[in-house]
A and B are shown apart, each in its own frame.
Chain A
Amino acid sequence: MTPAETAVRVRERFGVEPAVDGAVVTAVVPVERWPEVAEFAKHELRCRYFNWLSAVDWKADGLEVICRLENLDAGLVLVMKTRLGSGQTRCPTLTGLYRGADWMERECYDMFGVVFENHPDLRRILLPQDWEGHPLRKDYAVDTPHPPYR
């Protein structure tokens, strides 16, 4: 399956216009259809490899969650993006589909405060458990003192 064919299938199935750049197909989907698109990618497009998941803070426009799924046999890459909306932090989890999503989503929660619903174990993964705030948010004040050590 070529990237162009993949884009056509994604457009027919979900009604969004994917951007194709080389082998990379980028689809911006609404947050409600997030797990549905991932399931489509895994079972229909055979994207078995969960590469990474991260987020972007667009300040007033809210958070955007990005995830990259790959079909290594066909050399096909699907990048899924979703906007959570201004002030929203809730996003469906992908841990039921991809086990590798577990730590990625925990890291995303740790750094951006995105709450992945139905995640089996949503704790901080890199920072200490008693940390306050989510440091990769744009409104996180970096130089505020954090007792007792700074």
Chain B
Amino acid sequence: MEVKPPVPQIPPPVWTEIKDLQEWEKYRQERPDGDKTSNALAAIADAIHHLPGGWIMVTSTEKLFNWARSSSIWPVTFGLACCAIEMMATFASRFDVERFGMVPWASPRHSDLMIVSGTVTIKMAPMLKRIYDQMPDPKWVVSMGSCANSGGPFRHGYHVVKGVDRVVPVDVYVPGCPPTPDSLMYGLLKLQEQVAEFQKTGRRLSSPQEG
């Protein structure tokens, strides 16, 4: 008896994700691109500021808020490439960023910081943007490593975004390939300095504050 070879049965394509993403992009583009802070909080602060002597209170509460913000920055657990290994090492017990109040959190909805750790491909960029959009304001981005900064060694590849700042606004760039946990920790401390100045100037700082 002859055994017949199996005939391949390949299921028909079901592809919906691209359409979903396009709808998401459309929704996101319709959303107004406003300030990073809550409008209601800003309105209350403005009202108090215009009371007699209210500015003292507003300034001190802003200081308090910024202290709270800068000492509980929760990064979203989002690793892209080999930099993510160094990021994990930074989160782990030897380097322990938890003493700065940073808890790696597995949900963008409760996070303040996105560490873009690795190469961002053109196919990945919409997903990265989507995660960034899911994070509540105010939010910050640390670009970690050469790939996220500028494309790095893959800059001349056909598929790599030449710097994650073409996708999301970046606050701190950490150089290195990959950066050591020390470098990343230095970047995170710089970010804390930036966050401590948030709202005093009314907008985010364009470069890290010196001194």
Contacts and interface: CB of A to CB of B under 8 A. Distances in A.
A13 interface: no
Contacts of B161: 149-150
Given A120-B8, A127-B123, A140-B158, A149 B18 contact: no
B8 A135 contact: no
Contacts of B18: 128-130
Given A149-B161, A149-B167, A120 B10 contact: yes
User: Which range contains the number of B residues in contact with the other chain?
Assistant: 20 to 34
A140 B5 CA distance: 40
User: Which range contains the number of A residues in contact with the other chain?
Assistant: 20 to 34
Q: Tell me the interface secondary structure of chain A in the complex.
A: loop
B15 A150 contact: no
A96 B10 contact: no
B15 A135 contact: no
Contacts of B162: 150
A94 B125 CA distance: 35
Interface string A131-142: 000010000101
B156 A143 contact: yes
Given A96-B8, A128-B123, A142 B158 contact: yes
Nearest to A102: B10
Given A128-B18, A129-B15, A150-B122, A95 B10 contact: yes
Interface of B: 5-8, 10, 12-13, 15, 18, 122-123, 125, 156-162, 166-167
13 contacts: A42-B5, A95-B10, A96-B8, A102-B10, A120-B10, A123-B15, A127-B159, A128-B18, A128-B123, A129-B15, A135-B159, A149-B167, A150-B166
